[in-house]
């Protein structure tokens, strides 16, 4: 069991962050042992053929026999939602001794796979070369397997944070942690995380608590090291809806929602166009187009940007989803 002692100042400094590299690294467990992650099987089926063999071999070797992963691959977020590339840059700066320690910790009882045996030697250059190769593979893996679904994943993560923030506002820390996971509970100023490999007690001592909701976490996951500032990655709500197939699209639904003129206009704005060109293509007056564009812009369905003397209009991401739902799948 791992526990965090949280004082008043720590609770006041409890905050959330989203970590794309955290999701990329934890998703490796789904690739390695799909039978244990039934909710993510649709995602796995959609990405497995996009990952080249060399990347798969190297990255899957990082998943230990107990599904542990080297801690250095999931650095503590330093901002609310850092880009993947910024987090990967932090991993690339990891010292060789920490790489050795964390890789060995993922394999506490067994022999390391051939792809990771560089950490058993004293050659720092070899360890750094291994670290850099892992980062190169993670970059390719992100592009192929996680980035295409990241906008949808982020919406689920942010929805969870909104729910948790409301729980904290309504019922304090006790309600915040009440339904996060059965292995987690709050009592007398201490947050307990049960069924952990580590067994230590950490006093936050003014460092606060960082909460990281996760799509691919199957249970709460604090840092392995007792010297790390308090952080808790936890399974977020709504994961079961993430990979569900979209309902069949009714071609007449958009017209029923917006009316025929605005529906035609939204379909037309797959590319940036000025008002006069829109009017020409639809064979209507520019004033009529401007009226509809004002409504579509006010509701967030189109964006606009000035290009010289013209204002260009284009569908927003929300407008794309309404006009062509299949594009977001």
Residue 98 tokens, joined: 């920490």
Query: 83 pLDDT band (50/70/90 cuts)?
Result: very high
Res. 189: pLDDT tops 60 = yes
Give the lowest-confidence range in 131-135, 176-180, 224-228, 288-292: 224-228
Widest distance between CA atoms in the chain: 76
- What contacts 24+ positions apart, CB below 8 Å, involve 236-239? 236/156, 236/157, 236/160, 237/156, 237/159, 237/160, 237/163, 238/156, 238/159, 238/160, 239/39, 239/40, 239/156, 239/215
- Residue-wise DSSP of 84-103: HHHHHHHHHT--HHHHHHHH
Domains of the chain, each with CATH number or no CATH: 2-242 (no CATH), 253-328 (1.10.10.10)
CA distance 58 to 257: 50
Which is more confidently placed, 93 or 195?
93
Res. 97: pLDDT tops 90 = yes
| pTM of this structure | 0.75
Give me the pLDDT at residue 300, please.
92
Tally Cβ neighbours within 10 Å of residue 290. Answer: 14
Element (H, E) at 171: helix 150-178
Residue 313 backbone dihedrals phi, psi, to 5 degrees:
-115, 145
Q: Tell me the angle at which helices 124-141 and 20-32 cross, rounded to the nearest 10 degrees.
A: 90
Give me the pLDDT at residue 250, please.
60
Query: 18 pLDDT band (50/70/90 cuts)?
Result: very high
Give me the pLDDT at residue 193, please.
93
Res. 329: pLDDT tops 60 = no
DSSP-assigned beta bridge partners for residue 209? 14
Instruction: Give mean pLDDT, residues 102-117.
Output: 91
Q: Give percent above pLDDT 70 in the chain.
A: 96
Per residue in 166-188, pLDDT (tens digit) is 898 888 888 999 999 999 999 99
Per residue in 206-259, pLDDT (tens digit) is 999 999 999 999 899 888 777 888 999 999 998 988 887 655 546 577 788 888
Res. 87: pLDDT tops 90 = yes
CA distance 157 to 178: 18
Res. 328: pLDDT tops 60 = no
Query: 136 pLDDT band (50/70/90 cuts)?
Result: very high
b/e sequence 60-90, b meaning 16+ C-beta within 10 Å: bbbbbeeebbbbbbbbbbeeeebebeebbeb
Q: Give percent above pLDDT 90 in the chain.
A: 63
Instruction: Give mean pLDDT, residues 48-57.
Output: 96
CA distance 301 to 297: 6
CA distance 214 to 22: 8
Mean residue pLDDT across the chain: 90
Helices vs. strands in the chain: H and E counts, helices first: 14, 10
Which is more confidently placed, 146 or 266?
146
Cβ atoms of 31 and 60 closer than 8 Å:
yes
Give me the pLDDT at residue 74, please.
95
- SS3 percent helix, strand, coil of the chain, rounded to 5, is 55, 15, 30
Give me the pLDDT at residue 322, please.
83
Q: State the sign of the Cα–Cα–Cα–Cα dihedral 164, 167, 173, 174.
A: negative
Instruction: Give mean pLDDT, residues 256-266.
Output: 87
Give me the pLDDT at residue 177, please.
92
Res. 327: pLDDT tops 80 = no
Res. 282: pLDDT tops 90 = no
């Amino acid at each position: 069991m791992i526990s965090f002692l949280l004082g008043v100042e720590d609770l006041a400094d409890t905050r959330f962050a989203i970590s794309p590299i955290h999701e990329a690294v934890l998703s490796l467990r789904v690739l390695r042992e799909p039978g244990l992650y039934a909710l993510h099987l649709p995602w796995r089926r959609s990405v497995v053929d996009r990952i080249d063999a060399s990347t798969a071999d190297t990255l899957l070797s990082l998943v230990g026999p107990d599904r542990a992963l080297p801690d250095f691959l999931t650095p503590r977020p330093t901002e609310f939602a850092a880009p993947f590339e910024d987090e990967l840059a932090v991993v690339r700066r990891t010292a060789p001794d920490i790489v050795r320690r964390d890789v060995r910790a993922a394999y506490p009882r067994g022999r390391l796979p051939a792809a990771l045996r560089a950490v058993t030697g004293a050659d720092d250059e070899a360890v750094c070369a291994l670290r850099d190769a892992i980062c190169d593979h993670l970059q390719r893996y992100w592009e192929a397997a996680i980035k295409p679904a990241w906008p949808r994943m982020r919406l689920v993560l942010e929805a969870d944070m909104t729910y948790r923030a409301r729980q904290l506002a309504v019922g304090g820390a006790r309600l915040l942690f009440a339904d996060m996971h059965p292995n987690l509970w709050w009592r007398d100023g201490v947050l307990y995380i049960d069924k952990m490999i580590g067994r230590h007690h950490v006093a936050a001592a003014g460092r606060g608590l960082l909460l990281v909701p996760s799509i691919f976490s199957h249970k709460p996951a604090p840092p392995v090291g007792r010297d790390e500032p308090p952080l808790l990655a936890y399974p977020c709500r709504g994961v079961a809806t993430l990979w569900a197939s979209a309902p069949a699209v009714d071609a007449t639904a958009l017209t029923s929602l917006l009316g025929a003129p605005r529906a035609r206009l939204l379909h037309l704005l797959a590319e940036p166009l000025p008002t006069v060109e829109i009017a020409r293509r639809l064979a209507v007056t520019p004033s009529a187009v401007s009226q509809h564009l004002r409504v579509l812009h006010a509701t967030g369905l189109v964006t606009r940007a000035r290009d010289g003397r013209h204002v260009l209009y284009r569908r927003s991401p929300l407008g794309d989803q309404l006009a062509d739902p299949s594009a977001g799948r």
